[in-house]
Chain A
Amino acid sequence: MIPDRLSWSVAWRSLLRSKRLTALTLVVLSVSVVLVIFLSALMNGVEQDLIDETTGAIPHATIEPSEREPAALWDREASDSSGRDPVYVGEKTTLTSQKGTLDDWQRWVQLVEQFGPDIEGVSPAVEGQGFAIRGEKREAVRLYGVAPRRYDRLVPIQENLVEGRFYELGPGEITIGYKLADKMEVGLGDRLQVTTPEGTGRSMRIVGLFDTGFGGIDDATIFMPLGDGQSLFGLGSSVNAIGIEIRDVFAADRLAEQLRRQVPYAVTSWIAENERLLRALESQGRSTDLITFFTAVAAAFAVASILIVLVTNKLQEIGILKAMGATRRQVRTVFALQGTLLSLFGGIIGSSVGVGVVKLLSGLESAPTAGGQTEPLFPFELSPEMVVGTVVGAVIIGFVASLIPARRAANVDPIEVIQNG
């Protein structure tokens, strides 16, 4: 259905002359496109935001010592019951001290680093619960012994420093969240007593404060050099976690699965631990698709019905053209072209307005946090592919919607319209 000069000229002139119908169609199409772009940008943004929020402060995948499963009493063989091994009765717990260690961690870090270009960071760490104590104040905290530059690729601390430093942590030095510092009423250069639940502790000097924007980290996290962590938790030269950052957060499950086959430890991914969030995002995505679909259907019906009016208005001219020898295909092309042109212009106008609105609203920011960080009020995520895709979708809808009116036009019998004068 390649339009010739006749189809172009008839289609174009009649759109120009039917100003009201043309304008009405353009408005309907533009509004639909604006709606789809606005909604998609917002939903993508919210999804991206939630995922960033969820994965920003945790490794995408973690290699950990396998938890020791307590053996059920009834699984023990009769001969053992009298024997040497003690029997524990109670709930399963995972105290840090019981958690076990990764002894040959250098080997596994190397293995993961060579896993492929998608690996963005690998960070061995000693993690555990602990307390920060200063005078009368005592706060439960999470202690991390890390190699700062490596850990920074998992959770960006350096760029979120309010003051002080993180990269060059020396022995006995710690970097802590600004909210924790507020609670403890300490600042840069002050000392904190850091202890494990087992009671091991030492006094450490604060050399950096950070504000990541993640509440859980900013108000209860203390970073110290890896060596200090190892000695604090009595792990010797071992660590108890290897955190992994990958480019595509949704590939974490697959990576964990692959690693599980090669590493003799437990490998967890953020996806497995955030299934509910992901399911919520999925159903949100589905409802966005549904809204987009119904918007498209509504737009298609609008275009089709307006084109039917246009065909009805033009019956006589179509009859004349056919009497003069225009083929059915030429007549069909006129109206298919009108549908396509209308939706192309509607798409371009709509996407321009849509992108404008999104840009305008994404300039609005929420009130700043205590650390001075601000966040956009609407977390839009707008990609050129999405905008182009919406326009292309609109054009396809316009074309498809025009087919019924075009068929109707092609079927006009010239005799009837000519005789009716």
Chain B
Amino acid sequence: MADGNDEQRQRPQDAEANGTILRLDGIRKTYTNGVDEEVLFGVDLELKTGDFAVLVGKSGSGKTTLLNIIGLLDTPTAGRLFLDDRETSTLDDDERAQLRREYIGFIFQFHHLLPDFNVLENVLMPCRIRGKEYEEAARDRAVEMLEMVGLGEKIQTPVNELSGGQQQRVATVRAFANDPTVVLADEPTGSLGSETSQSVMSLMREINRETGTAFLMVTHDPELTDYADRVIELRDGRIASDEE
């Protein structure tokens, strides 16, 4: 307990000094569906502002589980996760939801847009969840980003009238609408053709450079690692390599 307090007292200075926004400390995950199945065996990881990292590994290596834990969608069985110096393992559902909407942007494998809303509304949805004032404040930036990805003409179009590539671009812009600290992407190009994949990747890279938003992307497409500054390989629930 005393250690924890010391750590918490010191961390802000550390974080300021080295720009760490996310720290995983011995994260373990065991699924108990009748039989215990351990997926993550003590993962330590740090993510800094401006990082553009790719998480690779065979299927079943625990990539998506790790990403869900980092995204506060899932809770670790053991270990601690610090998000902007806040220890998250003791938080309840709604507190984690609040952190998600303030710090994290998600890009899912399937675009997961809301079909009842148009392009701009979908992009602004994370802000709407946070509150009306955030939505108003983010509107201009959202339109600007949509123009950047070539959807400036379609901001009022219902999302189900867009092509797959266009939808994934909307989903990408949505992940940045709330000005998150970290963007987590799970196979963001998995459902796209190679040309569209490249344009989406370029877009992410551009936003990363422009805003300094940290980026962690799960993929098993080796081509995409070319875009990354850092490649983290997960093998059997452990980090096998972490190279800049």
Our verdict on whether A and B bind, yes or no, reads yes
Q: Give residues in A with beta carbon < 8 Å to B.
A: 4-6, 9-10, 13-14, 16-17, 316-317, 320-330, 414-415, 418-419, 421
Q: Is the CB of B100 within 8 A of A325?
A: yes
Which of A9, A324, A326, A327 has most B Cβ within 10 Å?
Answer: A324
Q: Is the CB of A17 within 8 A of B73?
A: no
Q: Is the CB of A17 within 8 A of B97?
A: no
Q: Is the CB of A324 within 8 A of B129?
A: yes
Which of A9, A14, A325 has most B Cβ within 10 Å?
Answer: A325
A324-B129, A330-B129, A415-B74 known; A421 and B109 CB under 8 Å? yes
Q: How far is the CA of A321 from the CA of B122 in the complex (A)?
A: 11
Chain A residue at minimal CB-CB distance from B130: A325
Q: How far is the CA of A9 from the CA of B132 in the complex (A)?
A: 12
Question: Could you tell me the distance in whole angstroms from the C-beta of B134 to the nearest C-beta in chain A?
Answer: 10
Contact among B64, B100, B106, B135 with A419 in the assembled complex (CB-CB below 8 Å): B64
Q: How many A-B residue pairs have CB under 8 A?
A: 74
Chain A residue at minimal CB-CB distance from B135: A5
Q: What's the dominant secondary structure at chain B's contact region? A: helix
Q: Which of B48-56, B110-118, B141-149 lies at the interface with chain A?
A: B110-118
Q: Which residues of A contact B99 (CB under 8 A)?
A: 325
In this assembly, does B98 line the interface, its C-beta being within 8 Å of a C-beta of chain A? Answer: yes
Q: Which residues of A contact B112 (CB under 8 A)?
A: 316, 320, 418
Q: Give residues in B with beta carbon < 8 Å to A.
A: 64, 68, 71, 73-74, 93-94, 97-102, 104, 106, 108-110, 112, 114-117, 121, 125-126, 128-132, 135, 186
Q: How far is the CA of A317 from the CA of B126 in the complex (A)?
A: 13
Q: How far is the CA of A7 from the CA of B197 in the complex (A)?
A: 34
Contact among B110, B117, B129 with A421 in the assembled complex (CB-CB below 8 Å): B110
Q: Is the CB of A326 within 8 A of B116?
A: no
Q: How far is the CA of A380 from the CA of B64 in the complex (A)?
A: 67
A323-B100, A324-B100, A328-B93 known; A414 and B125 CB under 8 Å? no
Q: Is the CB of A13 within 8 A of B117?
A: yes
Contact among A5, A324, A328 with B94 in the assembled complex (CB-CB below 8 Å): A328
Q: How far is the CA of A414 from the CA of B71 in the complex (A)?
A: 11
Which 4 pairs of residues, A with B, have the shortest CB-CB distance? Answer: A325-B101, A13-B116, A325-B100, A421-B110
Q: Is the CB of A325 within 8 A of B102?
A: yes
Q: Is the CB of B73 within 8 A of A323?
A: yes
Q: Which residues of A contact B74 (CB under 8 A)?
A: 415
Q: Which residues of B contact A13 (CB under 8 A)?
A: 116-117
A4-B131, A317-B114 known; A325 and B126 CB under 8 Å? yes
Q: How far is the CA of A173 from the CA of B2 in the complex (A)?
A: 111
A325-B102, A415-B68, A415-B73 known; A9 and B128 CB under 8 Å? yes
Q: Is the CB of B129 within 8 A of A321?
A: yes
Q: Which residues of A contact B128 (CB under 8 A)?
A: 5-6, 9
Question: Could you tell me the distance in whole angstroms from the C-beta of A385 to the nearest C-beta in chain B?
Answer: 38
Q: How far is the CA of A421 from the CA of B164 in the complex (A)?
A: 14
Q: Is the CB of B132 within 8 A of A4?
A: yes
Question: Could you tell me the distance in whole angstroms from the C-beta of B121 to the nearest C-beta in chain A?
Answer: 8
Q: Is the CB of B114 within 8 A of A323?
A: no
Chain B residue at minimal CB-CB distance from A410: B93
Q: How far is the CA of A321 from the CA of B106 in the complex (A)?
A: 11
Q: How far is the CA of A327 from the CA of B102 in the complex (A)?
A: 13
Q: How far is the CA of A13 from the CA of B160 in the complex (A)?
A: 14
Q: Is the CB of A325 within 8 A of B109?
A: no
Q: Is the CB of A17 within 8 A of B115?
A: yes
Q: How far is the CA of A317 from the CA of B114 in the complex (A)?
A: 6
Chain A residue at minimal CB-CB distance from B104: A325
Q: How far is the CA of A16 from the CA of B116 in the complex (A)?
A: 9
Q: Is the CB of B73 within 8 A of A320?
A: no
Q: Is the CB of A324 within 8 A of B116?
A: no
Q: How far is the CA of A192 from the CA of B121 in the complex (A)?
A: 91
Q: How far is the CA of A13 from the CA of B135 in the complex (A)?
A: 18
Contact among B64, B71, B100, B129 with A6 in the assembled complex (CB-CB below 8 Å): B129
Q: How far is the CA of A419 from the CA of B125 in the complex (A)?
A: 20
Q: Is the CB of A324 within 8 A of B132?
A: no
Q: Is the CB of A321 within 8 A of B109?
A: no
Q: Which residues of A contact B132 (CB under 8 A)?
A: 4-5
Question: Could you tell me the distance in whole angstroms from the C-beta of A269 to the nearest C-beta in chain B?
Answer: 63
Q: Which residues of B contact A414 (CB under 8 A)?
A: 73
Q: Which residues of B contact A321 (CB under 8 A)?
A: 114, 125, 129
Question: Could you tell me the distance in whole angstroms from the C-beta of A22 to the nearest C-beta in chain B?
Answer: 13
Q: Is the CB of B94 within 8 A of A329?
A: yes
Q: Is the CB of A14 within 8 A of B102?
A: no
Q: How far is the CA of A30 from the CA of B83 in the complex (A)?
A: 51
Q: Is the CB of A418 within 8 A of B100?
A: no
Can you report 16 residue pairs joining A to B where beta carbons are below 8 Å apart? A5-B135, A6-B129, A9-B128, A17-B116, A316-B112, A317-B115, A317-B116, A324-B129, A325-B104, A326-B97, A326-B129, A328-B97, A415-B68, A418-B108, A418-B112, A419-B64
Which of A10, A316, A326 has most B Cβ within 10 Å?
Answer: A326
Q: Which residues of A contact B116 (CB under 8 A)?
A: 10, 13-14, 16-17, 317
Contact among B101, B110, B115, B131 with A324 in the assembled complex (CB-CB below 8 Å): B101
Q: Which residues of B contact A14 (CB under 8 A)?
A: 116
Chain A residue at minimal CB-CB distance from B74: A415
Known: A325-B129, A327-B94, A415-B68. 6 other contacts (CB 8 A): A5-B128, A324-B106, A326-B129, A327-B93, A418-B112, A421-B110
Q: Which residues of B contact A17 (CB under 8 A)?
A: 115-116
Q: How far is the CA of A111 from the CA of B109 in the complex (A)?
A: 90
Q: Which residues of A contact B71 (CB under 8 A)?
A: 323
Q: Is the CB of B98 within 8 A of A325?
A: yes
Q: How far is the CA of A17 from the CA of B104 in the complex (A)?
A: 30
Q: Is the CB of A322 within 8 A of B108?
A: no
Q: Which residues of B contact A4 (CB under 8 A)?
A: 131-132
A320-B112, A418-B108 known; A325 and B97 CB under 8 Å? yes
Question: Could you tell me the distance in whole angstroms from the C-beta of A200 to the nearest C-beta in chain B?
Answer: 90
Q: Which residues of A contact B102 (CB under 8 A)?
A: 325
Question: Could you tell me the distance in whole angstroms from the C-beta of A421 to the nearest C-beta in chain B?
Answer: 5
Q: Which residues of B contact A9 (CB under 8 A)?
A: 117, 121, 128
Q: How far is the CA of A327 from the CA of B131 in the complex (A)?
A: 12
Q: How far is the CA of A11 from the CA of B120 in the complex (A)?
A: 18
